[in-house]
Structure 1
Amino acid sequence: MARLAFLAALSLANLALGQTIEDGAVATEQNVAPAVETVDIDAASSGIGYFPYESSQLTGDVIANLTNYNLSDIELFDFGGAEEEAPAQKRAARVCKTYPGDRNWPSPPAWTLLRILLGGSLIEGVPAAAPCYSNWPQYNQAKCAEITSKWQTPQFQLAEPLGIQYYVFEGVSCLPPSLTRTGAKCTLGGLPSYVVRATNVAQIQLAVNFARNSNLRLIVKNKGHDFKAKSTGAGALSIWTNGLQGIQYLGATYTHKASCYRGPAFKIGAGVQASALYSAADRLGLHIVGGNTRTVGIGGGYIAGGGHSPLQSLYGMAADQVLSMEVVLPNGRFVSVDAKHYPDLFFALRGGGGSTWGIVTSLVIRAYPKTQVTTLTYSFAASAEVPKETFWKGVDAVFAKFPQYADKGMYSYWSINCIFDCSFSMAPQWGNDLNVNALKTLSAPLFSELSALGINVTDATYKNYDGVLKGIEGTWPAESEQGGVWNFNTGSRLFPRSNWEDPAKLAAQTAALRQGVEKAGLMLGYNFKAAVNPSINQTNAVNPAWRDTLLHALLGATWSQEATPQEIATANKNLVETMQPWREASPNSGAYLNEADINEPNWQQAFYGSHYAYLYQLKQKYDPWGLLWAPTAVGSEDWYVTGQIDYYPTQNGKLCPK
């Protein structure tokens, strides 16, 4: 039962002094306090206690108390209707999102009221690189030098209210001068107008309600890793979830009845970085299914998009590990979501894409006993002694082992570089629960085949680690992670196991891969499978193509620092065309939502597969207003951003319905 401990209605101290608030009065910090009610930590319908920040909520009682005093603009914070209330009528009423300078843009008093009700957590949008430009009040040459030195680190970008890892589809609005085009200016561009630094659920609810009732574009940023500008948008109000921290171990025999699971599990805040969770699990002799990039937020777009992992050949994808979630819906209500509570939404939130369904504040995910990891790195190349055709026979030999390696629970990350003479680099092959001798035995047949071809394998190195944490730290140094960049775009494709079962299909696939890398210069690839999770039914929105995948491969397009928007568009168009043979070699497969091209043709099928029609229905049910919009997200085809260039769709424009 909720404790009506209002920190947030009207300031009781002022009322006690006999002050009154006239109808339509403008709010000030002297007559209004932050809008929040503290509810019991154990009130969640999921049965898992709230984190302290989740017990601070915006409730109907808070809204009613505020409404009683008829403050000006207070109606902007009321909740939306239930999802069953005439979504078709709400869709029909859609108009362009209100944009700075529009007549209906919220007034300064309305923004002031939002700031006060949020407890001061509203930040006006200022580009992180503004101190580098004399037309901004923040101009400071010393500060600019410091910013520039840190700009291309994800740690800097994730700590900035407007920071993101990839600026190209935002629009490259404001970067340090030495890292962008000669003579470039600094504008807010495709970056949000305001940011809510969320530290409790009530603040998220207030932002959601304010954006919906004001017809604002609403975006969500966790760490800002998305390739496709999902966490940016011109004129938007941004909810920044980086501050939603918390890691709670639920015990070795935790029971989640809705998912029929019994075993170790963690409850984590949406803002928790992978590195922190890996460390917490490691100390308990456990590991969790997460990515190899340690600065990613596990509970953000990573899980929402499916989440591939060094452990997925053993346990399935990251989205398969989720037992329950706490979520703020587009109508502003805060709900618990699992297999019994909002099961359709639970389906969508696990693999159905980020910035689409609601704002997740915490998740419960399963964990596993820690096991050793052995890695193998090696390389080989075409040369005077190894003709190119022989080199590709060596690549074929590696590819032929992919079914066996994935079925052994392994994960292989590799690249082919054909900028000059072609070379293959395994970096690394990752053996879960294998020691060095076991991995050597498994690798020996391949190395014998390569030797028989006259291919000399160089730098073969085995390393053993006691678990995932040390394996990641020993394989991918923190300094290798990059952020703040804008000079490339990546596309991806999933290749199915069925191609390995048909020699003609496998030959066509190899030919397509070769054609792509020889044209683009560099290809990255992963060999793994999405294993069946041993503990529960994996029914969720993860692209069904993942369930038959053995190879996830990526190509990129690059351009110079001086590239014009039209030159970037041309490079992106070439990438789409270069990858077409890959699509033809895997006609019923798809692409990885989190590492895909924003220009992917038929993206609904490529990213969501046969789930798309159902997911689209759910989008209309839970968000008939189109409050949450992001490029390539479910339902995004119903809207467009004005002023776009084909193949270079930035977020620097007004969002309008089609």
Structure 2
Amino acid sequence: MKGIWGLIITGLSLVGALSTAATEILGSSLFPNERLQLTEGVLSKISVALQNVTISSMFDFGNDPTSRAVANNDASHRCKTIPGELLWPSDKVWNIFDTLLGECLIKTVPLAASCYVDWPEYNTTQCAAVAADWFNSDLHMEDPASIMLPLYQGRSCLPSPYNYTADCTQGGYPTYAANVSTVAQIQLAVNFARNLNLRLVVKNTGHDFNGKASGKDALTIWTHYLKDKEYYPEFKATNGYVGPAIKFGSGIQVFEAYEFAKSVGHSVVGGEAVTVGLGGGYTAGGGHSPLSSMYGLASDQVLAMQVILANGHFITASSTENPDIFWMLRGGGGSTIGVVTSLTVKALPKLETTTVTFNFTVKDTPGPDAFWSAVEAYLDNFETFVDAGTYGYYYIGASSVESGTDYAGSTDYYFRMESFVAPNMSVTETKTLLAPWFNALDNLNVSFTPWYNHADNFHDAWVEAFPQEYVGADVVKTASRLLPRSVFQSDDLRNQTFEAFKDAIIRGLFIAGFHISGTGIAVEPPTDSAVLPAWRDAITHVILGSEWNFTSSWDTIKSSSLFVTEWMDVLREIAPDSGAYMSEADLLEPNLQEAFYGTNYPRLYALKQKYDPTGLFFALTAVGAEDWEVQTVDPLPYSWNNNGRLCPKSS
């Protein structure tokens, strides 16, 4: 390549510069892509080739006292650099960055740009394909910038008929994305963003309830294709664990993890949804699973992980090596202090598993009283079900199509058991466990037809019971609460909870809930974990939601959002000492740090300041987020989505 500021850098790329250095990186436990690391030696080669100290210093590590990088110690007190500003990289600098990356830098455009005539990507055929596939998870997770809940990137570019406006703007979509495949590329991107004070976003799949993988004017590190995996029949962890383990690249998704675990005769803890990325914010935030009542949370399974920190250095974190980072990244949330490239987790026994799916509506009962009594009978059995190691994922609402709630006062009540999961149980054992509840339904003359699905391994039972979910809509706002065992051991509090469920539906909301424990019956939870302590006492995770139309105004969204937050005070009062699961929670949660992190927050915040003093890593609701604000360009209060400049919080 020639012509970039008069420089001749033919053959210069990160891959080329690494050709010699890579052989110096040892460690059989590292994946091949993790052995390709950025080093001071590699940076020296780049500096010599570029012959421009100003540009080469943009890639320096964060702890280099001689660096002449643009960033300085005051970066935490300045707004992130945006296009048009003096410090925003020129096209020539972006080209150099792309060359060093090995030409994996993507200039992103909104996924639906092909539907808008004023975009160069306008193409009616492509637009039709995008619109037809808009609610398919695959469409969004295979795009470097799109997220699965576009409300949180500003509803800025949606295809018809899902668009509330006739315009398409970049909105909260990042400006550039690095489609990384090696540790060195991630290190280079981290250093570049930190030194130039750019907003940095990390995206795996974009499956996040608060849109953490979006950010206006940002550079995205796209980890989706870090797909390596390796099985260890006997792994000796530094915490004393000795047994089978599996190492996964952070781009591995739940369905891939489950498939691989089955292939080697094991199970692993992962999410319910097909598209969840195992090594991203899911595990970092705790990660609940259909296997949690048996084996605990996803973060409990982690034995070691590889991480690139905000200073650009690549480390291993375990119970003895960088133990504070290991503690933080197991429950302290994603987008906080680093980019995880891989994690080694426990390989659990092969588990025969039974799942049960069924539904009933008010029309399948003698009337509303019988319907609600049937729901109440389920709550009465929460403790029993959790103590047997099972998991239930259910919906309650009022709609003729059995989805959401149509309007306040609707009496088209429905209960839908997406799946009752009974690990390590036969169909007969599962029927015995369910008998008290099902007998109650029979006595209430509720008509329902349970479908029992059984396999000799968890994967095969799960894949039948959990089809891929719809995404891509911007018409829902949710809040959540974990309710502890004590609520269901008290007749009064259990009755208050049941009455709250009824009230929510009557007032036009819907419930997506789980009976689940964060303390598995087959194991003891680890003590060196930043998981919200409320998870250890919880036996249900309750999500509450409100809906509107695709064409609804921002005023409607604002009022609906506030209503959801305010209504959740009912459950907060029932369980005042509990909290909320950060990955499926309310962006507007009151006392957010206490609700999402509990007593761990002071230590988490201190570690954030230690390892990321300039605030390179940011996400709404993440540790340290209270120091920043997204100055939204939509008619919403600051930090209600990611469509705005990121700045230190106004005094």
TM-score (norm 2): 0.91
CA–CA separation in structure 1 for the residues paired with 2:125 and 2:73: 50
Select the residue among 512, 519, 542 that pairs with 1:524. Answer: 512
Q: Which residue of the partner structure matches residue 39 of structure 2?
A: 59
Q: Distance in 1 between matches of 2:570 and 2:359?
A: 26
Structure 2 residue 126 is matched with structure 1 residue 143: yes
2:449 aligned counterpart, secondary structure = strand
Q: Does 1:474 align with 2:464?
A: yes
| TM-superposed deviation, 1:29 | 4.4
Q: What are the Cα deviations for residues 192-230 of structure 1, in whole angstroms up to 9, with x where unaligned?
A: 111111011111111110111101000000000011121
Q: Secondary structure at the match of 1:37?
A: helix
Query: After the TM superposition, which residues 69-80 of structure 1 pair with which residues of structure 2 at under 5 Å, given as runs?
Result: 70-71=51-52, 72-80=54-62
Determine helix, strand or coil for the equivalent of 1:299. helix
Match of 1:341, SS?
A: coil
Instruction: Give 3-state SS (helix, strand or coil) of 2:161's partner.
Output: helix
Q: Which runs of 5+ in 1 are unaligned?
A: 1-10, 15-20, 84-88
Q: One-letter code of the match for 2:342?
A: S
Aligned partner of 1:134 in structure 2 is: 117
Change (3 A) 1:26 1:564: farther
Question: Counterparts in 2 of 1:435-474, with a 5 A limit?
Answer: 435-452=426-443, 454-474=444-464
Aligned pair partner of 2:547 in 542, 555, 558:
558
Shift of 1:397: 1.9
SS of alignment partner, residue 450 of structure 2: strand
Identify which of 272, 284, 287 aligns with 1:292: 272
Q: Which residue of 2 aligns with 1:105?
A: 88
Contact 1:26 1:109 in 2 (8 A): no
Q: Does 1:426 align with 2:417?
A: yes
SS of alignment partner, residue 81 of structure 1: coil
Equivalents in 1 of 2:12, 2:479: separation in Å? 50
Q: Deviations over 1:373-412 (max 9, x none)?
A: 1122334444596343343333222111111111111111
Contact 2:162 2:551 in 1 (8 A): no
In the TM superposition, residue 425 of structure 1 has moved relative to its aligned partner by: 2.7
Could you tell me how far apart the structure 2 residues matched to 1:427 and 1:33 are? 49
Q: Determine which of 626, 629, 633 is the counterpart of 1:637.
A: 626
**Distance in 2, Cα, partners of 1:108 & 1:375:** 54
Q: How many residues align?
A: 626
| Aligned AA (2:515) | N
Match of 1:505 among 490, 493, 518: 493
Is 1:534 aligned with 2:516?
Answer: no
Q: Is the 8 Å Cα contact of residues 225 and 251 (structure 2) preserved in structure 1?
A: yes
Aligned to 2:142: 159
* Residues 134-178 of structure 1, C-alpha deviations (whole Å, 9 max, x = no match): 111111111111222222211111111112111001001112132
Go from structure 1 to structure 2 and tell me whether the alpha carbon gap of 1:555 and 1:536 turns closer, same or farther (over 3 Å shift).
closer
After the TM superposition, which residues 95-494 of structure 1 pair with which residues of structure 2 at under 5 Å, given as runs?
A: 95-181=78-164, 183-251=165-233, 253-256=234-237, 258-382=238-362, 386-418=366-398, 419-452=410-443, 454-478=444-468, 481-494=469-482
Verify the 8 A CA contact 1:530 1:548 in the aligned structure 2: yes
Aligned CA distance change for structure 1 residues 488 and 42 (closer, same or farther; 3 Å)? farther
Tell whether the 8 Å contact from 2:206 to 2:213 is kept in structure 1 after alignment. Answer: yes
Paired letter, 1:606? A
Work out whether residues 481 and 580 of structure 2, in 8 Å CA contact, stay in contact via their aligned partners in 1.
yes
Deviations 1:434-485 (A, max 9, x none): 1111111122222223333x2324112322122221112211223xx22222
Aligned equivalents of 2:91 and 2:303: distance in 1?
A: 42
Is 1:612 aligned with 2:595? no
Q: Is the 8 A contact 1:570 1:647 kept in 2?
A: no
Deviations 1:12-47 (A, max 9, x none): xx9xxxxxx9xx965454263326525668956xx6
Task: Say if 1:131 and 1:140, in contact at 8 Å, map to a contact too.
Answer: yes
Contact map agreement 1:82 1:331 (CA 8 A) in 2: no
Asked if structure 1 preserves the Cα contact closer than 8 Å seen for 2:332 and 2:623, the reply is yes
Whichever residue aligns with residue 150 of structure 2, its letter is Y
Percentage of matched positions with identical amino acids: 40
Correspondence for 1:50: 30
State the partner residue of 1:582.
571
The 5-angstrom pairing of residues 1-16 of structure 1 reads: none
- The question of whether the paired residues in 2 share the 8 Å contact of 1:512 and 1:585 is answered with no
User: Where do 5+ consecutive residues of structure 2 fail to align?
Assistant: 66-71, 399-409
Distance 1:516 1:535, change over 3 A: closer
Asked if 2 retains the 8 angstrom alpha-carbon contact of 1:569 and 1:648, the reply is: no
Q: Secondary structure at the match of 2:629?
A: strand
Kindly tell me: are residues 582 and 200 of structure 1, through their superposed partners in 2, closer, same or farther at Cα, counting changes over 3 Å? Answer: same
- Cα distance, 1:79 vs structure 2: 0.4
Superimposed CA distance per residue, residues 72-118 of structure 1 (whole angstroms, 9 cap, x where no aligned partner): 511100000289xxxxx946752010011112211222212111111
Alpha carbons of structure 1 residues 301 and 80: separation in structure 2 relative to 1, 3 Å? same
Q: Deviations over 1:329-363 (max 9, x none)?
A: 00000111111111111111111111112000011
What letter is aligned with 2:178? Answer: V
Instruction: Determine if contact 1:320/1:538 at 8 Å carries over to the other structure.
Output: no
Q: Distance in 1 between matches of 2:475 and 2:639?
A: 13
Structure 1 counterpart of 2:642: 651
Distance 1:457 1:60 in 2: 69
- Where does 1:589-608 land on structure 2 (aligned, <5 Å)? 589-608=578-597
1:8 alignment counterpart: none
Rate the CA distance shift 1:386–1:28 in 2: closer, same or farther, 3 A.
farther
Distance 1:246 1:355 in 2: 22
Distance in 1 between residues matched to 2:392 and 2:370, nearest whole Å: 22
Distance 2:121 2:637 in 1: 34
In the alignment, what sits opposite 2:402?
A: none
Tell whether the 8 Å contact from 2:513 to 2:541 is kept in structure 1 after alignment.
yes
Distance 1:41 1:51, change over 3 A: farther
Whole-angstrom distance in 1 between the partners of 2:365 and 2:185 = 65
Whether the 8 Å CA contact 1:520–1:557 is kept in 2: the answer is: yes
Note closer, same or farther for the CA distance 1:648–1:180 as it changes in structure 2 (3 Å cut): farther
In the alignment, the residues of structure 2 paired with residue 438 and residue 618 of structure 1 have an alpha-carbon distance, to the nearest angstrom, of 47
* Mapped contact 1:525–1:554 kept (Cα < 8 A): yes
Q: Distance in 1 between matches of 2:74 and 2:325?
A: 19
Alpha carbons 1:391, 1:455 under 8 Å: kept: no
Q: 1:27 to 1:109 in 2, by over 3 A?
A: farther
| Aligned-partner Cα distance in 2 for 1:404–1:307 | 22
- Quote how far apart the aligned CAs of 1:554 are: 1.0
TM-score by length of 1: 0.91
Find the aligned partners of 1:512 and 1:308 in 2 and give their Cα distance. 24
Question: Which amino acid in the other structure matches residue 448 of structure 1?
Answer: N
Question: Quick one: which amino acid aligns to residue 79 of structure 1?
Answer: F
Is 2:153–2:211's contact at 8 Å kept on the other side of the alignment? yes
